[in-house]
Amino acid sequence: MDTFIQLTVDALTLGSVYALIALGYTLVYGVLKLLNFAHGDVFMVGSFIGFGTLQLLGGSSHPVVPTWLLLILVTLAGMAGCAVLGVVIERFAYRPLRDAPRIAPLISALGVSFFLVNSMQLLFGATPRTYDTFSLSNGALYYRGIDIGNVRVPLLRIITIVSAFVLMVVLWFLVNRTRTGKAMRATSFDREAAAMMGIDIDRVIVFTFVLGSALAGAAGVLFAMRVPTQVTIGFIAGLKGFTAAVIGGIGSIPGAMAGGLLLGFAESYTQGYISTKWSDLFVFSLLIAFMIFRPQGLLGRADIRKV
Amino acid sequence: MRKGVALLLTLTATAFVAATAQAGHRAAAAQTASISCKSTMKIAFVTPLTGGAGFLGQEQSSWAKYAVKTLAPKLGLKIQLVLGDTPVEQGPAPAQALAQKYVADKSVVGILGPSTSGAVAASSQTYFAAGLAHISPSATRTSLTKGSPLEATAAFLRVVPGDYIQGPSDANFMISQLKVKKVVILDFQEPYSVGLADAVETTLKAKGVTTIRLSAPNTTTDYSSFVTKVPNDADIVFFPTQKPPDAQTFAQQLLEQGKKAKVFGGDGSNDSSAFKAAGSYVSNFAPDITGIKADAGIIAGWKKDNPGKPVGSFGPPSYGAVQVLLSAIKLACNADQGVLKARHDVLRHVKQVVIKNWILGGTFKFSTKSNDPLNAKFYIFQIQSDGSYKLVG
């Protein structure tokens, strides 16, 4: 039972991060029908922005603000930095190709991905960077927490899971309870009709990128609070986020959340109960299985085409 | 249209063949071109200067630079050290590319490194074909010099012992000093860690210790699920990573989940700035040379050139490797009467090198049975509460 509880905590932690990344993919796809393959690298940049902010605020050994405030500021910095990056990417890499064949922005997205990785490598080198949250909190983020049975759920895990869920709730509220969210949903349903109804499509698309990239930035910071970050982490994280979005139903926000959590559970339980060697194999086999048997994903809509 | 495409393909193929032939000619010419021992000769150091193992290359290159600066004039040689970067995350490709580059450069008369076993395996054939001796200060994989098939060639030598010594040495320490009953062994699905993990597991099992084997992809950054599989009564987790921050992460996640097991890292995790979890263990092929009186002058000189940096344990073997290579060049120059007729002349003389007052202690010479040092050993350190490494075995 202890193993099950521990693996579930691991799954929720991992799944929350995947869900945040998947949301970015699904938001952009929903509005633009574009698979933004640079999204995983935006996640990576977010983790580095968080690291840089942490150093500016005194680092893990001499922080100039209390730990709780430091973590909030680092997360906000990651989100803000990535939001700006998202706007820049949209403006220069995707907007000029909006009316081009669908493969063109896809190729552009791949180019942006390589550009980001190599730029970061030139700027920061390939050495892993650690937030060293252990030293930052004198171990409190690891030793303190809540006990479920014999399993201690450390504070850092709780922060990761709760922060991710709060962000998902905020996103749901923005998309479903605000005028801008309504405009986003209208644009995703039918872009031309939305434009004819007076919706500023450019503004909606920019806002979508702001939201998606900010979530990726948050995911990057939450991830790097627990493990070292380096310029290569974006590839696998992006791939898994994309897998989560597809499994959940690309274009569906609740689907992306569900897909991310499902992926986290699949990975964690496979490592725990089957074999540590097989987790990636299982996860990507799940992707293939969904594509064959349920291509619309868990919560996506099956496309109806007039014949 | 079709004729145009055919013509383009033909021209491309012709250009490719011509370029390949030219490169081969240049390599062959470089191999056989003689060089005056009074001219500036180059030695190239192939090491990871960036990436997760960049700490290794940075430390090693600082000692190599110091060695060239101080030893070359004493031997009457003019040597220029050039550095080649092989980040471990990029696999064998950088090592292969650098090998081609240095083979084509006729002023390169010897190679230091490659530092990592994977890079050696990827490039040894190229160096061997060019007659270039390549002496590594840190590539420890057993199959580079022992077993079948050998992953390196006769042109590869190393100044540190192989994992066939590290594995049993680490395991025997765990048994005799730590009195372990249950050990978890992790590998990262790449040759260095798999080889070392296999060697440790074999020795532990032979002595009746319960072992649990886990395997993580080399891209793993979050080890939570692996930590969950560590039994509460496990004594040690053998963690042969080449990325010290990962060893630190694993140790922290063990604490996070309330496990009592301590992390035992191989030489790849030896970095006191990144892996500092108190109570953990690290093995390495070099002792702390600050305890060797004969090295006091070398250490003082190196510190003057590298203010504020710790001495470390990866750097001194690099100094030693430079010393061996320069000594071999000197022997070859003497034998060839001041003109190095061919690169393989250096290779022919390398195993004749004997160094008294070796920087790692004692006298250095190569084994007659392999290209490994004679009577070398591994050292075990325990990480203290202040992050320092204390020699315990």
The mean pLDDT of B16-44, rounded to a whole number, is 64
Q: Does B91 touch chain A (CB under 8 A)?
A: no
Residues 6+ apart with CB under 8 A from A215: A20, A21, A23, A24, A79, A167, A171
Write out the two tokens for B219: 């891209």
Measured CA distances, A42 to A21, A207, A228 (Å): 9, 16, 16
Q: Does A6 touch chain B (CB under 8 A)?
A: yes
The mean pLDDT of B130-141, rounded to a whole number, is 94
- pLDDT score for B348: 94
Is the pLDDT confidence value at B276 over 50? yes
Are the CB atoms for B89 and A126 separated by under 8 Å? yes
In which residue are the tokens 């008294």 written?
B356
The mean pLDDT of B39-65, rounded to a whole number, is 91
- Tell me the C-alpha distance between A154 and A137, whole Å: 12
Please give the single-letter amino acid code of residue B283.
Answer: S
A139 within domain boundaries:
yes
Dihedral (Cα; B85, B89, B95, B101), 10-degree rounding: -50
Strand B354-355 versus strand B78-85 pairing type = unpaired
- pLDDT score for A280: 83
The mean pLDDT of B63-88, rounded to a whole number, is 95
Model pTM above 0.80: no
Nearest CA among A36, A11, A10 for reference residue A24 = A36
| 3-state SS class at B364 | strand
Residues 6+ apart with CB under 8 A from B258: A152, B232
Q: Does B52 touch chain A (CB under 8 A)?
A: yes
Is the pLDDT confidence value at B17 over 80? no
Are the CB atoms for B84 and B102 separated by under 8 Å? yes
C-beta atoms of B221 and A154 within 8 A: no
pLDDT in tens, B286-333: 888 888 889 999 999 999 999 988 888 889 999 999 999 999 999 999
Write out the two tokens for A167: 């962000």
Are the CB atoms for A5 and A149 separated by under 8 Å? yes
Confidence of residue B27 (pLDDT cuts 50, 70, 90): very low
- Tell me the C-alpha distance between A194 and A58, whole Å: 48
A43 within domain boundaries:
yes
- Tell me the C-alpha distance between A111 and B74, whole Å: 52
SS3 string of A57-104?
A: CCCCCCCCCCHHHHHHHHHHHHHHHHHHHHHHHHHHHHHHHCCCCCHH
Report chain A residues whose CB lies below 8 A from the CB of B47: none
pLDDT in tens, B329-345: 999 999 988 888 888 99
A115 within domain boundaries:
yes
Largest CA distance in chain B: 77
Q: Does B385 touch chain A (CB under 8 A)?
A: no
In which residue are the tokens 């056989």 written?
B32
The mean pLDDT of A199-204, rounded to a whole number, is 90
Residue A22, min C-alpha distance to chain B (Å): 19
Are the CB atoms for B355 and B324 separated by under 8 Å? yes
Do B36-162+292-362 and B164-284+380-391 come out as alike in CATH topology?
A: yes
The backbone torsions φ and ψ at residue B33, rounded to the nearest 5 degrees and listed phi first, read: -70, 135
Is the pLDDT confidence value at B149 over 50? yes
The mean pLDDT of A268-297, rounded to a whole number, is 86
Residue A175, min C-alpha distance to chain B (Å): 32
Residues of chain B with pLDDT > 70: what percent? Answer: 92
- pLDDT score for A307: 55
- pLDDT score for B33: 63
- Mutation pick from A1, A156, A276 vs chain B, by most beta carbons of B within 10 Å, is A276
**How many other C-beta atoms can be found within 10 angstroms of the C-beta atom of residue B123?**
31
Is the pLDDT confidence value at B182 over 90? yes
Nearest CA in chain A to B387: A135
Strand B134-136 versus strand B156-158 pairing type = parallel
Lowest mean pLDDT of A128-132, A292-296, B30-34, B185-189, name the range: B30-34
Largest CA distance in chain A: 66
C-beta atoms of A272 and B225 within 8 A: yes
Are the CB atoms for A260 and A20 separated by under 8 Å? yes
Please give the single-letter amino acid code of residue B100.
Answer: Q
Domain ranges of chain B: 36-162+292-362, 164-284+380-391
Report chain B residues whose CB lies below 8 A from the CB of A121: 50
- Within chain B, residue ranges assigned H as helices are 2-32, 54-74, 93-104, 117-129, 163-176, 191-206, 224-228, 244-256, 296-305, 315-335, 344-350
- pLDDT score for A135: 84
Report chain A residues whose CB lies below 8 A from the CB of B258: 152
A123 within domain boundaries:
yes
Write out the two tokens for A69: 């405030």
CA B150 to chain centre: 17
Confidence of residue B23 (pLDDT cuts 50, 70, 90): very low
Question: A235-255 burial string, b = 16+ CB within 10 Å, else e?
Answer: bebbbbbbbbbbbbbbbbbeb
Indicate the CATH number of B164-284+380-391 among 3.40.50.300, 3.90.1010.10, 3.40.50.720, 3.40.50.2300. Answer: 3.40.50.2300
Q: Number of A to B CB contacts under 8 A, please give it.
A: 87
Report helix angle A201-224 to A155-177, nearest 10: 170
Domain count, chain A: 1
Q: Kindly write down the DSSP assignment for every residue of A9-63, as one continuous string.
A: HHHHHHHHHHHHHHHHHHHHHHHH----TTHHHHHHHHHHHHHHHHHHTTTTTS-
Residues of chain A with pLDDT > 70: what percent? Answer: 97
- pLDDT score for B30: 44
- pLDDT score for B3: 62
Are the CB atoms for B114 and B139 separated by under 8 Å? yes
- pLDDT score for A189: 84
Report chain A residues whose CB lies below 8 A from the CB of B214: 276
C-beta atoms of A7 and B228 within 8 A: yes
Are the CB atoms for A253 and A301 separated by under 8 Å? no
C-beta atoms of A276 and B249 within 8 A: no
Q: Does A142 touch chain B (CB under 8 A)?
A: yes
Confidence of residue B8 (pLDDT cuts 50, 70, 90): low
pLDDT in tens, B353-387: 999 999 998 899 999 999 999 988 899 999 999 88
Residue B224, min C-alpha distance to chain A (Å): 6
Is the pLDDT confidence value at A44 over 70? yes
- Tell me the C-alpha distance between B357 and B109, whole Å: 26
pLDDT in tens, A248-274: 988 788 899 999 999 999 999 988 888
- Tell me the C-alpha distance between B264 and B244, whole Å: 11
Is the pLDDT confidence value at B263 over 50? yes
Q: How much is the mean pLDDT over chain A?
A: 89
Residues 6+ apart with CB under 8 A from A258: A248, A298, A299
- pLDDT score for A282: 86
- Tell me the C-alpha distance between B290 and A225, whole Å: 36
**Residue-number span of the structural domain to which A165 is assigned:** 12-234
In which residue are the tokens 């108190």 written?
B278
- Tell me the C-alpha distance between B264 and B184, whole Å: 10
Find out if CATH 3.40.50.2300 is the number for domain B36-162+292-362.
Answer: yes
- ipTM comes to 0.75
pLDDT in tens, B195-206: 899 999 999 999
pLDDT in tens, A76-118: 999 999 999 999 999 999 999 988 888 898 899 999 999 999 8
